[in-house]
Chain A
């Protein structure tokens, strides 16, 4: 049962890495879209596709945090007592991004608008980098905020969010019939895929030197199937987008990024902090575990269909204006 709770926690982290990642990825491309005039088209699409996602992706984050402190209080304490600078920086990015995304809708002066764009874009770098850096610091087993491992994880997450962001924006550009932007984001998705492969390989080498105990199960143990999926799917998505085969690429993007998170988590299981804290050591008392799972099960029964409805309505474009 502790494993099941750990798995729920992993699912929340993975969901945030993909859903939140797509969101922040869009922010990264917003930052790279260039000056006000040149980036106008791209920014309009980013605005348009991010609007319904707004800050709701924070739900995954809150869920992960709450599961962590209720299910594994000791892990929560250990991690936060050591890695608080990383979390503080990630949080600053999170609020700045939310605030300035909303603000650029009300900024009227071009200069204020430009500043809002800039802050929004920059903060989209902070959050994924520092959240992932904290995972890197955990994976190293040494819980050092600023180390090779934390930086490597942070950089991988930037490449991954840029990759998933671009891939999803291709989909949105198609849906809204913005032909030029399909090509625009396709090219960027391919570049991001290449960057992800490069940074990912570098990170793997870093893990090999810095955390050999994590490296082995990642390439020859429990983490390997997931690592393999990532290593295969990332180039596949890149290839599909390069060739303009616009099918399956979004699902595969999610699978590629999600497997990366799984590869890390399974490689270090049963440890929550390698060499320091196992799932069994950190888990909350039995009855708390039961409640957590009962609540999760009940709510999944409610939330599952609810998500289904939302998806159904969205796909039928029932949530968009009729043609004007």
Chain B
């Protein structure tokens, strides 16, 4: 009811939320490879240099081409996002920019550093001495880390705001350290960081898992699969623990979000864990599997542990029923995919440890091929969990989304949204076409005579002369 009222009073709210969700959902798909692919590439280059393996160097160089295209698209979608804060949520930035923006101020400089060194790295293949080239590249992972830190510091501030002194609704003082290092940052940062490294590993490896299934099983394919998959496999079990810590921290930090994730209606002990399922406006659960007392056990290691319910928060200060259901299903999907990923990881590590080689079961590669898509879905659903679960707040407990939204007419936001959807669809199409074409060409080359991997790519070392 209340949310319907807000929609009526803030006509641009609905399209603004859709637009933000759409552009963020698109951008977040580019983040894993954007931040973590440089590390995988450098690892591969390092292996190539250490073992004098030209195949590893070839793989690293090809990955760097993908990295470049990815970075360019991410730079554009990221720029769009920074403007959207102003176009869609001017009142939030106007009031809290001095605190919320701090993380982004750090991120912007990190992005700067990344752009410079990614340029040197990309255009420096075979132009710089191998060791120098690797050394320049080594700036990229810490720069990416710093950028991720900045963005997550800002997002964590929205979840657990701190460090601001308000006087008559205006921020008069900011405690910089308190605003940067908020409670949520501790778990959000590590959870997200591991997530993107895992995703990058699974996604890159999945490409070569497909190649394995198609019968290409030479040194090139094996190496390109094993390195990223092993990175992901080491991280996947750790992520289960970090994810669990994050979820349990929410019990105290954002009880309404936690209640939505578990679709718990009333605060109680012996709370069951509902897997799947939906909650209705009366608090009744439909469908799904209910495991008695498990939620209480997970939260407090005892069936007597008390778990917060949605009704512990006023109706206008917690997610609506629809939002709670979205949060819950997204959360379950993320946890489910994470668990499958971890199982696959254990399989890989077990065989690797016992037999000193990756698994050879066709089912392993079938699952590994799907792990790439699964990891992307897990990133998306994780992000949906934290963002939708925070509703109706843009700054948790302090400012509502409806109070931050632009006063622009709804028709303007709908029009912009439509334009963005069309353009993003085009970009996605170009992006995928480009990658498919590059991969097809590289495959052809491996059969014939080699050339430089960047031929046909928009970015890469340039010849000293150009030809029309």
Partner-B contacts on A (CB < 8 A): 40-41, 43-45, 47-48, 51-52, 54-56, 58-59, 61-63, 65-67, 69-74, 76-81, 84-85, 87-88, 91-92, 94-96, 98-99, 101-103, 105-106, 176-178, 284-288, 290-292, 295-296, 299, 302-303, 306-307, 309-310, 313, 317-324
Contacts and interface: CB of A to CB of B under 8 A. Distances in A.
A287 B174 contact: yes
A106 B403 CA distance: 45
Interface centre among B96, B97, B452, B464 (most CB of A within 10 A): B97
Given A98-B73, A105-B457, A295-B105, 5 more contacts: A55-B75, A77-B94, A80-B87, A102-B458, A295-B106
Interface residues of B, number: 83
A118 B69 CA distance: 21
A62 B105 contact: no
A313 B176 contact: no
B86 A79 contact: yes
Contacts of B175: 287
Contacts of A92: 419, 423
Interface in B91-131: 91, 93-99, 101-102, 104-109, 111-113, 115-117, 119-120, 123-124, 126-128
Nearest to B95: A73
Given A319-B123, A320-B463, A103 B72 contact: no
A69 to B, nearest CB: 4
Contacts of A287: 173-176
B336 interface: no
B78 interface: yes
B289 interface: no
B83 interface: yes
B87 A62 contact: no
Interface centre among A63, A99, A313, A318 (most CB of B within 10 A): A99
A177 B173 CA distance: 58
A76 B115 CA distance: 25
A273 B433 CA distance: 45
B283 interface: no
B363 interface: no
B16 to A, nearest CB: 11
A106 B423 contact: no
19 contacts: A44-B466, A44-B467, A54-B459, A59-B112, A61-B82, A65-B83, A66-B101, A69-B85, A77-B97, A80-B87, A81-B408, A84-B408, A88-B412, A95-B423, A284-B174, A287-B174, A288-B102, A291-B176, A320-B123
Contact of A291 (B83, B86, B91, B105): B105
A52 B109 contact: no
B108 A319 contact: no
Interface centre among B78, B80, B87 (most CB of A within 10 A): B87
B434 A69 contact: no
Contacts of A318: 124, 127-128
Contact of A319 (B80, B95, B127): B127
Nearest to A84: B87
Contacts of A76: 86, 90, 93-94, 97
Interface in B264-294: none
Nearest to B416: A88
Contacts of B123: 52, 319-320
Contacts of B416: 88
Nearest to B98: A284
Given A51-B459, A319-B124, A321-B464, A288 B98 contact: yes
B461 interface: yes
Contacts of B427: 95, 98-99
Contact of A62 (B111, B119, B426): B111
B117 A306 contact: yes
Contacts of A285: 98, 171-174
B462 interface: yes
A106 B466 contact: no
Interface in B29-74: 68-69, 71-73
B465 A177 contact: yes
B79 interface: yes
A290 B176 contact: yes
Nearest to A321: B463
Contacts of A41: 468
Contact of A65 (B82, B91, B456): B82
Interface string B330-367: 00000000000000000000000000000000000000
B239 interface: no
Given A69-B93, A287-B176, A87 B86 contact: yes
B5 interface: no
A303 B407 CA distance: 39
A63 B109 CA distance: 7
A80 B105 CA distance: 19
A292 B98 CA distance: 10
B464 A323 contact: yes
Across the A-B interface, give the 9 residue pairs with the lowest CB-CB distance, nearest first: A77-B94, A73-B97, A70-B101, A284-B98, A80-B86, A319-B123, A44-B468, A48-B466, A299-B109
Interface centre among B79, B96, B412, B461 (most CB of A within 10 A): B79
A65 B99 CA distance: 15
B97 A69 contact: yes
Nearest to B146: A299
A81 B407 contact: yes
B434 A288 contact: no
Given A76-B97, A285-B171, A310-B116, A59 B111 contact: yes
A98 B117 contact: no
B447 interface: no
Contact of B76 (A94, A103, A291): A94
A87 B109 CA distance: 22
Contacts of B296: none
B406 interface: yes
A102 B94 contact: no
B430 interface: yes
A240 B426 CA distance: 43
A287 B98 CA distance: 9
B468 A40 contact: yes
B458 A67 contact: no
Interface centre among A78, A101, A292 (most CB of B within 10 A): A292
A310 B458 CA distance: 19
Nearest to A306: B116
Contacts of A80: 86-87, 90, 93, 406
Contact of A99 (B76, B124, B412): B76
A234 B159 CA distance: 51
A58 B458 contact: no
A224 B459 CA distance: 42
Contacts of B466: 44-45, 47-48, 176, 178
B437 interface: yes
A293 to B, nearest CB: 10
Contacts of A96: 423
Contacts of A59: 75, 108, 111-112, 115
A306 B94 contact: no
